[in-house]
Amino acid sequence: MQATVIGTGYVGLVTAIGLAENGHEVTCVDLNAERMERLAQGIAPITEEGIEDALRLNRERLTFTTDYPASDLYLIAVGTPERADGSCDLSAVEAVARLIEETSPGASVIVKSTVPPGTTARLQDEHPTLRFAMVPEFLREGTALADNRQPSRLIIGTTDATFAKTVEQLFQTTAPVVVVDPTTAELTKYAANSFLAVKISFINEIARLADAVGADVTEVAHGIGLDPRIGSAFLRAGAGYGGSCFPKDIAALTTLARTHETTLHVIEAADRTNEAQLDYVLAKIRPERGMRVALLGLAFKPGTDDLRDAPALRLAERLEQLGVVVVGYDPAARTLLDQKPTLEEALRGADVAVIMTEWPEMKAVAPELLTRVMQTPRLIDGRNCWQYVDAPAGVAYEAIGRPGKEFSNKR
Protein backbone atom coordinates (compact mmCIF):
# COMPACT_ATOMS: atom_id res chain seq x y z
CA MET A 1 0.00 0.00 0.00
CA GLN A 2 0.97 3.65 -0.32
CA ALA A 3 0.56 6.10 2.55
CA THR A 4 1.47 9.72 3.26
CA VAL A 5 2.44 10.66 6.80
CA ILE A 6 2.11 14.34 7.73
CA GLY A 7 4.47 15.39 10.52
CA THR A 8 7.83 13.83 11.35
CA GLY A 9 8.00 14.22 15.11
CA TYR A 10 8.17 11.16 17.37
CA VAL A 11 4.82 9.74 16.35
CA GLY A 12 5.00 10.54 12.63
CA LEU A 13 8.53 9.33 12.07
CA VAL A 14 8.22 6.13 14.07
CA THR A 15 4.85 5.35 12.46
CA ALA A 16 6.32 5.96 8.99
CA ILE A 17 9.26 3.64 9.71
CA GLY A 18 6.87 0.97 11.03
CA LEU A 19 4.75 1.18 7.87
CA ALA A 20 7.87 0.96 5.67
CA GLU A 21 8.97 -2.08 7.69
CA ASN A 22 5.58 -3.60 6.87
CA GLY A 23 6.44 -3.20 3.17
CA HIS A 24 4.35 -0.10 2.41
CA GLU A 25 5.56 2.86 0.33
CA VAL A 26 5.59 5.85 2.65
CA THR A 27 5.91 9.56 1.87
CA CYS A 28 6.73 11.73 4.88
CA VAL A 29 5.72 15.40 4.72
CA ASP A 30 7.00 18.10 7.04
CA LEU A 31 7.33 21.87 6.68
CA ASN A 32 10.84 21.75 8.13
CA ALA A 33 13.01 21.55 4.98
CA GLU A 34 16.27 21.05 6.85
CA ARG A 35 14.78 18.13 8.78
CA MET A 36 13.57 16.54 5.54
CA GLU A 37 16.99 16.90 3.91
CA ARG A 38 18.69 15.31 6.88
CA LEU A 39 16.14 12.50 7.06
CA ALA A 40 16.70 11.79 3.36
CA GLN A 41 20.37 11.30 4.28
CA GLY A 42 19.38 8.93 7.08
CA ILE A 43 19.97 11.42 9.91
CA ALA A 44 17.23 11.28 12.55
CA PRO A 45 16.00 14.45 14.30
CA ILE A 46 15.38 12.50 17.52
CA THR A 47 17.52 10.29 19.72
CA GLU A 48 15.90 6.88 19.59
CA GLU A 49 17.42 3.42 19.85
CA GLY A 50 17.91 1.88 16.37
CA ILE A 51 16.25 4.69 14.42
CA GLU A 52 19.08 5.46 11.99
CA ASP A 53 19.55 1.75 11.19
CA ALA A 54 15.82 1.53 10.50
CA LEU A 55 15.96 4.61 8.25
CA ARG A 56 18.83 3.07 6.30
CA LEU A 57 17.25 -0.38 5.99
CA ASN A 58 13.95 1.06 4.74
CA ARG A 59 15.26 3.97 2.65
CA GLU A 60 13.79 2.56 -0.57
CA ARG A 61 10.28 2.74 0.85
CA LEU A 62 10.63 6.12 2.59
CA THR A 63 10.44 9.49 0.81
CA PHE A 64 10.84 12.83 2.60
CA THR A 65 9.32 16.00 1.16
CA THR A 66 8.01 19.42 2.12
CA ASP A 67 5.26 19.32 -0.57
CA TYR A 68 1.84 17.83 -0.13
CA PRO A 69 1.53 14.97 -2.59
CA ALA A 70 -1.87 13.75 -3.80
CA SER A 71 -2.59 10.49 -1.97
CA ASP A 72 -5.43 8.07 -1.23
CA LEU A 73 -4.32 7.53 2.34
CA TYR A 74 -2.95 10.03 4.83
CA LEU A 75 -1.86 9.74 8.43
CA ILE A 76 -1.91 12.96 10.46
CA ALA A 77 0.85 13.04 13.08
CA VAL A 78 1.36 16.74 13.69
CA GLY A 79 1.74 18.28 17.14
CA THR A 80 -1.17 19.13 19.42
CA PRO A 81 0.54 21.40 21.98
CA GLU A 82 -0.96 22.71 25.19
CA ARG A 83 -2.55 26.16 25.10
CA ALA A 84 -2.15 28.60 27.99
CA ASP A 85 -5.57 27.55 29.37
CA GLY A 86 -4.56 23.86 29.38
CA SER A 87 -6.64 22.95 26.33
CA CYS A 88 -5.25 21.25 23.26
CA ASP A 89 -4.16 23.43 20.33
CA LEU A 90 -5.65 21.69 17.29
CA SER A 91 -4.73 24.32 14.71
CA ALA A 92 -2.05 22.16 13.02
CA VAL A 93 -4.40 19.16 12.75
CA GLU A 94 -7.17 21.35 11.35
CA ALA A 95 -4.84 23.01 8.82
CA VAL A 96 -3.63 19.60 7.62
CA ALA A 97 -7.21 18.33 7.21
CA ARG A 98 -8.02 21.39 5.05
CA LEU A 99 -4.91 20.85 2.91
CA ILE A 100 -5.74 17.18 2.42
CA GLU A 101 -9.24 18.07 1.28
CA GLU A 102 -7.82 20.57 -1.22
CA THR A 103 -5.15 18.19 -2.50
CA SER A 104 -7.01 14.88 -2.48
CA PRO A 105 -10.78 15.05 -2.03
CA GLY A 106 -12.10 11.56 -1.30
CA ALA A 107 -8.94 10.46 0.54
CA SER A 108 -8.90 8.34 3.68
CA VAL A 109 -7.33 10.02 6.72
CA ILE A 110 -6.02 8.35 9.87
CA VAL A 111 -5.59 10.71 12.82
CA LYS A 112 -2.52 9.58 14.80
CA SER A 113 -2.02 12.82 16.75
CA THR A 114 -3.42 12.75 20.28
CA VAL A 115 -6.63 14.76 20.00
CA PRO A 116 -9.40 15.35 22.56
CA PRO A 117 -12.49 13.14 22.40
CA GLY A 118 -14.86 14.46 19.75
CA THR A 119 -12.18 15.96 17.48
CA THR A 120 -12.22 13.31 14.73
CA ALA A 121 -16.03 13.29 14.62
CA ARG A 122 -15.95 17.07 14.20
CA LEU A 123 -13.29 16.84 11.44
CA GLN A 124 -15.52 14.30 9.70
CA ASP A 125 -18.46 16.75 9.81
CA GLU A 126 -16.30 19.61 8.53
CA HIS A 127 -14.77 17.59 5.67
CA PRO A 128 -17.51 15.30 4.37
CA THR A 129 -15.53 14.41 1.21
CA LEU A 130 -12.80 12.78 3.36
CA ARG A 131 -13.09 9.57 5.36
CA PHE A 132 -11.58 9.74 8.89
CA ALA A 133 -10.43 7.15 11.40
CA MET A 134 -8.65 7.73 14.71
CA VAL A 135 -5.84 5.34 15.61
CA PRO A 136 -4.13 6.39 18.87
CA GLU A 137 -0.41 5.94 19.42
CA PHE A 138 0.93 4.38 22.63
CA LEU A 139 4.68 4.35 21.98
CA ARG A 140 7.15 5.38 24.66
CA GLU A 141 10.19 7.51 23.99
CA GLY A 142 13.42 5.55 24.21
CA THR A 143 11.70 2.31 23.16
CA ALA A 144 9.58 3.79 20.37
CA LEU A 145 10.65 1.46 17.57
CA ALA A 146 10.31 -1.66 19.68
CA ASP A 147 6.89 -0.50 20.92
CA ASN A 148 5.87 0.15 17.35
CA ARG A 149 6.94 -3.31 16.21
CA GLN A 150 5.25 -5.05 19.12
CA PRO A 151 2.34 -2.91 20.27
CA SER A 152 0.18 -4.12 23.16
CA ARG A 153 -2.97 -3.39 21.13
CA LEU A 154 -4.24 -1.69 18.01
CA ILE A 155 -7.19 0.60 18.70
CA ILE A 156 -9.04 1.53 15.49
CA GLY A 157 -11.54 4.35 15.82
CA THR A 158 -13.94 4.16 12.89
CA THR A 159 -17.50 3.03 12.29
CA ASP A 160 -16.59 2.10 8.69
CA ALA A 161 -15.80 -1.65 8.61
CA THR A 162 -13.96 -1.42 5.25
CA PHE A 163 -11.73 1.36 6.55
CA ALA A 164 -11.07 -0.63 9.73
CA LYS A 165 -9.83 -3.52 7.55
CA THR A 166 -7.53 -1.15 5.62
CA VAL A 167 -6.07 0.12 8.90
CA GLU A 168 -5.45 -3.48 10.03
CA GLN A 169 -3.67 -4.28 6.75
CA LEU A 170 -1.58 -1.17 7.15
CA PHE A 171 -0.40 -1.88 10.69
CA GLN A 172 -0.22 -5.70 10.45
CA THR A 173 -0.11 -6.71 14.08
CA THR A 174 -0.61 -9.87 16.08
CA ALA A 175 -1.70 -7.74 19.06
CA PRO A 176 -5.40 -7.54 19.98
CA VAL A 177 -7.36 -5.26 17.66
CA VAL A 178 -10.16 -3.17 19.14
CA VAL A 179 -12.50 -1.45 16.69
CA VAL A 180 -14.51 1.38 18.25
CA ASP A 181 -15.96 4.73 17.22
CA PRO A 182 -13.44 7.60 16.88
CA THR A 183 -14.48 9.37 20.10
CA THR A 184 -14.00 6.16 22.11
CA ALA A 185 -10.57 5.68 20.51
CA GLU A 186 -9.60 9.24 21.47
CA LEU A 187 -10.77 8.77 25.06
CA THR A 188 -8.94 5.42 25.28
CA LYS A 189 -5.65 7.20 24.60
CA TYR A 190 -6.25 9.84 27.29
CA ALA A 191 -7.54 7.27 29.76
CA ALA A 192 -4.39 5.14 29.27
CA ASN A 193 -2.01 8.04 29.91
CA SER A 194 -4.07 9.37 32.83
CA PHE A 195 -4.21 5.95 34.46
CA LEU A 196 -0.43 5.58 34.24
CA ALA A 197 0.02 9.07 35.72
CA VAL A 198 -2.37 8.14 38.55
CA LYS A 199 -0.29 5.03 39.28
CA ILE A 200 2.89 7.11 39.54
CA SER A 201 1.31 9.77 41.75
CA PHE A 202 -0.26 7.07 43.91
CA ILE A 203 3.08 5.42 44.64
CA ASN A 204 4.70 8.84 45.18
CA GLU A 205 2.17 9.56 47.93
CA ILE A 206 2.86 6.19 49.50
CA ALA A 207 6.59 7.05 49.27
CA ARG A 208 6.11 10.21 51.33
CA LEU A 209 4.25 8.24 53.96
CA ALA A 210 6.94 5.53 53.82
CA ASP A 211 9.54 8.21 54.62
CA ALA A 212 7.42 9.41 57.54
CA VAL A 213 6.88 5.97 59.09
CA GLY A 214 10.24 4.39 58.16
CA ALA A 215 8.99 1.90 55.56
CA ASP A 216 10.50 1.06 52.15
CA VAL A 217 8.28 2.09 49.23
CA THR A 218 10.17 -0.08 46.73
CA GLU A 219 9.19 -3.14 48.79
CA VAL A 220 5.62 -1.87 49.13
CA ALA A 221 5.47 -1.48 45.32
CA HIS A 222 6.85 -4.98 44.89
CA GLY A 223 4.38 -6.37 47.39
CA ILE A 224 1.30 -4.75 45.90
CA GLY A 225 2.47 -5.28 42.31
CA LEU A 226 2.35 -9.06 42.77
CA ASP A 227 -1.44 -8.74 42.82
CA PRO A 228 -2.31 -9.09 39.12
CA ARG A 229 -5.22 -6.69 39.64
CA ILE A 230 -2.65 -4.00 40.50
CA GLY A 231 0.39 -5.03 38.41
CA SER A 232 3.99 -4.07 39.10
CA ALA A 233 4.57 -1.60 36.24
CA PHE A 234 4.61 2.16 36.80
CA LEU A 235 5.04 1.95 40.55
CA ARG A 236 8.51 3.47 40.69
CA ALA A 237 8.41 6.29 43.21
CA GLY A 238 10.64 9.28 42.58
CA ALA A 239 10.71 12.92 41.55
CA GLY A 240 7.50 12.61 39.54
CA TYR A 241 6.60 12.31 35.89
CA GLY A 242 7.37 14.63 32.99
CA GLY A 243 7.66 14.34 29.24
CA SER A 244 5.68 15.47 26.27
CA CYS A 245 2.58 13.39 26.99
CA PHE A 246 1.44 12.97 30.60
CA PRO A 247 1.34 16.65 31.72
CA LYS A 248 -0.12 17.89 28.43
CA ASP A 249 -2.69 15.11 28.07
CA ILE A 250 -3.88 15.47 31.65
CA ALA A 251 -4.26 19.23 31.19
CA ALA A 252 -6.22 18.69 27.96
CA LEU A 253 -8.49 16.04 29.47
CA THR A 254 -9.29 17.89 32.68
CA THR A 255 -9.91 21.11 30.71
CA LEU A 256 -12.21 19.26 28.31
CA ALA A 257 -14.05 17.62 31.21
CA ARG A 258 -14.74 21.01 32.75
CA THR A 259 -16.31 22.25 29.53
CA HIS A 260 -18.69 19.28 29.93
CA GLU A 261 -19.30 20.25 33.58
CA THR A 262 -17.47 17.14 34.75
CA THR A 263 -14.61 17.21 37.28
CA LEU A 264 -12.01 14.44 37.03
CA HIS A 265 -11.09 14.42 40.73
CA VAL A 266 -8.67 11.48 40.64
CA ILE A 267 -6.84 12.68 37.55
CA GLU A 268 -6.60 16.28 38.79
CA ALA A 269 -5.25 14.97 42.07
CA ALA A 270 -2.57 12.97 40.21
CA ASP A 271 -1.42 16.21 38.62
CA ARG A 272 -1.36 18.08 41.95
CA THR A 273 0.53 15.21 43.59
CA ASN A 274 3.08 15.37 40.78
CA GLU A 275 3.65 19.07 41.49
CA ALA A 276 3.85 18.40 45.22
CA GLN A 277 6.43 15.68 44.60
CA LEU A 278 8.80 18.31 43.25
CA ASP A 279 8.26 20.39 46.43
CA TYR A 280 9.07 17.24 48.35
CA VAL A 281 12.41 16.82 46.57
CA LEU A 282 13.06 20.55 47.02
CA ALA A 283 12.46 20.24 50.77
CA LYS A 284 14.89 17.32 50.97
CA ILE A 285 17.58 19.50 49.37
CA ARG A 286 17.10 22.12 52.14
CA PRO A 287 18.01 24.90 49.71
CA GLU A 288 19.83 28.02 50.86
CA ARG A 289 20.97 31.08 48.95
CA GLY A 290 24.45 30.55 47.46
CA MET A 291 24.30 26.78 47.85
CA ARG A 292 25.55 24.71 44.91
CA VAL A 293 23.36 21.84 43.66
CA ALA A 294 24.36 19.30 41.00
CA LEU A 295 21.42 17.84 39.09
CA LEU A 296 22.39 14.41 37.77
CA GLY A 297 20.15 13.69 34.80
CA LEU A 298 18.04 16.31 33.04
CA ALA A 299 16.04 14.34 30.45
CA PHE A 300 12.51 13.42 31.60
CA LYS A 301 13.56 9.78 31.58
CA PRO A 302 16.62 7.72 30.58
CA GLY A 303 17.19 6.73 26.96
CA THR A 304 16.13 10.08 25.53
CA ASP A 305 17.51 13.61 25.20
CA ASP A 306 14.00 15.02 25.54
CA LEU A 307 13.71 17.85 28.05
CA ARG A 308 10.02 18.60 27.51
CA ASP A 309 8.36 19.13 30.90
CA ALA A 310 11.35 17.43 32.53
CA PRO A 311 11.10 17.46 36.35
CA ALA A 312 14.83 18.32 36.49
CA LEU A 313 14.27 21.58 34.60
CA ARG A 314 11.30 22.50 36.78
CA LEU A 315 13.40 21.81 39.88
CA ALA A 316 16.31 23.85 38.48
CA GLU A 317 13.98 26.81 37.99
CA ARG A 318 12.68 26.57 41.57
CA LEU A 319 16.20 26.30 42.98
CA GLU A 320 17.42 29.28 41.01
CA GLN A 321 14.51 31.37 42.27
CA LEU A 322 15.82 30.60 45.76
CA GLY A 323 19.31 31.84 44.85
CA VAL A 324 20.83 28.36 44.54
CA VAL A 325 23.58 27.78 41.97
CA VAL A 326 22.48 24.85 39.79
CA VAL A 327 24.78 22.76 37.60
CA GLY A 328 23.11 20.16 35.42
CA TYR A 329 24.65 17.07 33.89
CA ASP A 330 23.01 14.68 31.46
CA PRO A 331 24.61 12.07 29.18
CA ALA A 332 22.26 12.94 26.30
CA ALA A 333 20.44 16.22 26.96
CA ARG A 334 23.11 18.84 27.37
CA THR A 335 21.32 22.08 26.83
CA LEU A 336 20.44 23.33 30.31
CA LEU A 337 21.62 26.94 30.52
CA ASP A 338 24.15 26.05 27.80
CA GLN A 339 26.23 24.24 30.40
CA LYS A 340 27.98 21.16 29.14
CA PRO A 341 29.94 19.95 32.13
CA THR A 342 31.17 16.42 32.65
CA LEU A 343 29.72 14.48 35.56
CA GLU A 344 32.79 15.25 37.64
CA GLU A 345 32.67 18.96 36.80
CA ALA A 346 29.01 19.08 37.79
CA LEU A 347 29.79 17.45 41.13
CA ARG A 348 32.87 19.51 41.90
CA GLY A 349 32.27 21.78 44.87
CA ALA A 350 28.57 20.89 45.07
CA ASP A 351 26.79 20.87 48.43
CA VAL A 352 24.16 18.40 47.25
CA ALA A 353 23.79 16.12 44.22
CA VAL A 354 20.29 15.10 43.13
CA ILE A 355 19.66 12.19 40.76
CA MET A 356 16.75 13.28 38.57
CA THR A 357 17.05 10.72 35.74
CA GLU A 358 17.99 7.08 36.36
CA TRP A 359 20.57 6.77 33.56
CA PRO A 360 22.86 3.72 34.00
CA GLU A 361 25.69 6.24 34.54
CA MET A 362 23.90 7.66 37.60
CA LYS A 363 23.44 4.20 39.09
CA ALA A 364 27.18 3.62 38.66
CA VAL A 365 28.51 6.86 40.21
CA ALA A 366 31.33 5.86 42.55
CA PRO A 367 30.78 7.04 46.14
CA GLU A 368 34.52 7.86 46.13
CA LEU A 369 33.90 10.44 43.40
CA LEU A 370 31.30 12.15 45.57
CA THR A 371 33.54 12.20 48.64
CA ARG A 372 36.51 13.40 46.59
CA VAL A 373 35.02 16.28 44.59
CA MET A 374 31.91 17.50 46.41
CA GLN A 375 31.96 20.24 49.03
CA THR A 376 29.80 17.98 51.18
CA PRO A 377 29.14 14.43 49.92
CA ARG A 378 25.34 14.51 50.06
CA LEU A 379 23.23 12.63 47.53
CA ILE A 380 19.47 12.76 47.08
CA ASP A 381 18.39 9.87 44.90
CA GLY A 382 15.29 11.27 43.23
CA ARG A 383 14.82 8.04 41.27
CA ASN A 384 15.64 5.46 43.95
CA CYS A 385 18.27 3.95 41.69
CA TRP A 386 21.06 3.20 44.18
CA GLN A 387 21.02 -0.11 46.06
CA TYR A 388 21.62 -1.08 49.69
CA VAL A 389 25.01 -2.22 50.94
CA ASP A 390 26.33 -3.21 54.30
CA ALA A 391 29.38 -0.97 54.23
CA PRO A 392 28.71 2.77 54.69
CA ALA A 393 29.79 4.67 51.62
CA GLY A 394 30.70 7.86 53.45
CA VAL A 395 27.97 9.68 51.55
CA ALA A 396 24.92 11.20 53.23
CA TYR A 397 22.29 9.47 51.15
CA GLU A 398 18.58 10.08 51.03
CA ALA A 399 16.07 8.45 48.70
CA ILE A 400 12.33 8.86 48.11
CA GLY A 401 10.38 6.66 50.49
CA ARG A 402 13.22 4.41 51.58
CA PRO A 403 14.46 4.41 55.17
CA GLY A 404 17.63 6.29 56.06
CA LYS A 405 20.10 3.45 56.15
CA GLU A 406 23.49 3.72 54.51
CA PHE A 407 23.21 3.11 50.80
CA SER A 408 25.60 2.69 47.96
CA ASN A 409 25.31 1.96 44.30
CA LYS A 410 27.30 -1.20 44.90
CA ARG A 411 25.37 -4.18 46.20
Interface with ligand UDX (CB under 6 A): 137-141, 193, 196, 200, 234-236, 238, 241-243, 245-246, 300-301
Residue 292: phi, psi to the nearest 5? -115, 125
The H helix count followed by the E strand count for the chain is: 15, 15
- The residue (of 55 and 245) whose beta carbon lies closer to ligand UDX is 245
Question: Residue 262 carries which side chain, given as an amino acid letter?
Answer: T
Produce one character per residue of 4-43: b if its CB has 16 or more CB atoms within 10 Å, e if not: bbbbbbbbbbbbbbbbbbbebebbbbbeeeebbeebeeee
Least CB distance from residue 329 to ligand UDX, whole Å?
Answer: 17
Q: Which residues contact 6 (CB under 8 A, 6 or more apart)?
A: 12, 29, 30, 68, 74, 75, 76, 77, 78, 96, 100
Least CB distance from residue 147 to ligand UDX, whole Å?
Answer: 8
- The residue (of 131 and 284) whose beta carbon lies closer to ligand UDX is 284
- The residue (of 130 and 220) whose beta carbon lies closer to ligand UDX is 220
**Could you say which of 28, 88, 245, 385 is catalytic?**
245
Least CB distance from residue 307 to ligand UDX, whole Å?
Answer: 11
Least CB distance from residue 339 to ligand UDX, whole Å?
Answer: 21
Please give the torsion angle defined by the CA atoms of residues 250, 254, 257 and 259, in that order, rounded to the nearest 10 degrees. -120
Query: Is 385 an annotated catalytic residue?
Result: no
Residue 367 CB: number of other CB atoms within 10 A? 22
Asked whether the CA dihedral 14, 20, 22, 24 is positive or negative, the reply is positive
- The residue (of 77 and 374) whose beta carbon lies closer to ligand UDX is 77
Least CB distance from residue 186 to ligand UDX, whole Å?
Answer: 13
Residue 353: phi, psi to the nearest 5? -115, 140
- The residue (of 59 and 308) whose beta carbon lies closer to ligand UDX is 308
d(CA 327, CA 334): 11
- Enzyme catalytic residues: 245
